[in-house]
Chain A
C-alpha cells in the first residue's frame, strides 16, 4: 500500500528549478533507494517529504505530497507532528553533545506524554538494540555521545529516531561518511528494521542499494528517470540513462 505519494512536484531554489514534475509512490514496510549523480535532486526530494526544505530561504514548492492521504503542504498540516512521524537520519552523524542516554530520550522528553524512569530506560535499551549499538554503549550510557566513533554515533542517531516511533525513516546517505565495517553494520540493521518501518534512503553506493532496497528510483537533473523494483533497475533497466549510470559510464 502506498504510504507516501508525490504528485507533479516541482521545487525551485529561487529561479533555479531543482525538481521537475516528480510523480512517485512509496510503499509501506519497504526500503526504497534514491540514486543518481550528485546534484540530481534526490536529497532535495527526500527533504521535501518531511519539509526540511522549509528551513532554506527562497525555496518554492508546487504540486502535492500526500502522507497517509493527507497533503503535507496543506494549510492544516502540523509540521512538528509530521516530523515526529517521519524521522530523518543525516549524512554526517549529528548527535547532540549530551550523554548517549539523553540523546536517545531527547525527542521523547519534550512530548506531551510523560514517561517514568523505567519506561525511558526500556525505550533507550530497545532503541539502542534495534539500532545495533547497544552492546557498544550499554556500559557508558552517561558518557557523551561525541566520545563515540563515527559509526557508533550514526547508530545512536538512528536509535534517537527510533525512540520517537516514527512510521517512516528518511535516510540521507547515512553511511557515506563511515568506514566499510560501520556502514556494513548499519546496512544490516536497516534491513532488519524493514519489518517495522518504511524507509527511504538516498545513497551513492550502488551495491548497497542493490543489496537492501526493494525499489530503486533513479534521478537525473531534477527528473525522475526510472522507478521500479530494484532487481529490474539493476538487471534490466528500461532507460539508457539508468543503464549508463549503473554501469558507471558516467556520473
Chain B
C-alpha cells in the first residue's frame, strides 16, 4: 500500500526561497519533467523504463500537480496560487537574462488554470478536520475496470502501489427529477425495480445487439454480412439517431447515452450540438462499460476508485519511475528555461537554487508558461514553446456533507443528463459521492465531486448550483436541519462546505518542449492517456511505451472483504 506523501505536508509554503535546495547531481539528463501530474508521471515512468535518464521536478511538496489529492486547506491554497495573478508579471524587465556562455534564460511564469474560485463554509468543524481530507483537484473521476488506466497500471506494474474499491451504485436523473438506478448490465436490468418489463426487454435486447456486433467484428464479419453486425452506414450515423432507429424509447435512450456511454453534450440538440457521438464510438463506450462489469471477481460494478484519492495514480507511476532510476526532487521550482543563443534550441533549465541542468528534452505541465510578450519579442522562443491554447472550460465543485444521498450507499455516481435539471442545461452534469471507506474524508462525512463542461464561468456555475440545489439542502445553522427531517420523504444531505471553481482545458502540445494536457471533463482517463502515449511516441519513436513485461499476475485484486481465503 502506498503511503501518502501529501498527508505529511501540511501548509507547505509554495514559495521556494524558504526551502533549502540541495544541489542535483548529475547535471545532465536525457529528459527533464516538470510537474508530477498523471501525464507527466506516466511519461517519466515510460521514459525511465525505456532506459532514459530522467529528472522529475515539482515546485510543490506533493505529487500530482493538477491531478493530486490534497488536504482541505492545501486544496484551497493550491486553487488560489494557481489562479491568474497579475502580480506575477511585475518584473518583466528581468525576463531575459543572457548568460555568458551563449545561452538565453527565459523565465517561467505560472499560468493560472483555475478561476472563479468560491469557497463556502457552513460548518467550521469541516475545516478543523482539514488534514483528514484527501480531495481530488480533478474530480469527479473514476476508473472503468477495463479502461486504459487500469491497463497501464497493470502493464507498468504500477498496480502494486494502489488499491481500489468499487463504486457501489450509479444513478441517473430521469425526466421527473427522480434518481433511478442505472441498469447497466444484464443482471442490473434483471434486478431493477423501476423499469417496466418492456423496458427491460428493450434495454437488454440492445445490449445483446451490441454484444453480437462486437463478437461479429471480432470474428471478422463486416457490416451487412449477416444480421449480427451493425452496418457501416449505421456506424457512421449519430448514436442518438441509431438508438431511435432501434425504437428505444426516450428514457432508455437517455440511460444509454448519458449514464453508460457518458456523453457530455445534448445529442438531441441537432445542429447546435457541439459534439455528436457517432454510433461507432458509442458502441465502443458501451463495450468499455460492459467489459468493465465483472472484469475483476471482487469488483461488482464497472467503476472503481483508488483508496486515498485519485492523487494515488500519478504517485504510483512516479514510484514506478523511481524504481527504474528516475530522480525525484520536489519543492524545486524551475525559474527559467535555457536556450542556446545562436540556434535558439532548448538546452536546459535553471532551478530556483540557481543550478543549471541540461537535458535533451523537456516536458512541462501546462500551468508553466512564458508571458505572451516573449513570443513577440523573440521569434526563436515560439519555435521552442508551442504554448497550448485553452480549448474549453470545466466547472468543478467539491461538496462535503454528513450524510449520503441514499442510505447504505457509501459511494455512487449520479448523472444529470442534459435538460434534466433545467431546460437549457446543455451538457451532462456528473456527480461522484465518496465515503470515508475510501479514506478520502473523516468517518461520518461524505465528499461529492461535481463537474460539467461549460462555455463560460456563468454557465458553469449555474449548472453546479442547479446540481447542488437538487442534491443538498444548504445548512444555515451549521447542523442538520431537524425541522425538515420528515420520515416520509428522503432527507437531502445538508451541505457543510463547498468549493466551486472553473478550470481551463488545455490540450497537450508537442514541440521541442512538450506540454502535457490539463485534466479533461471525462470520468475516466482514457482520452488523457491516449494523448499522453501519443506525446511519448512522438518524443521517443524508437522506444516502446511500457513494453509488455513478464508480469503475468494481472489479477488486480481490489481490497474487498467478500473473499474468504480458502488456501491453507
- Real binding pair: no
Interface residue ranges, A against B (CB under 8 Å): none
Interface residue ranges, B against A (CB under 8 Å): none
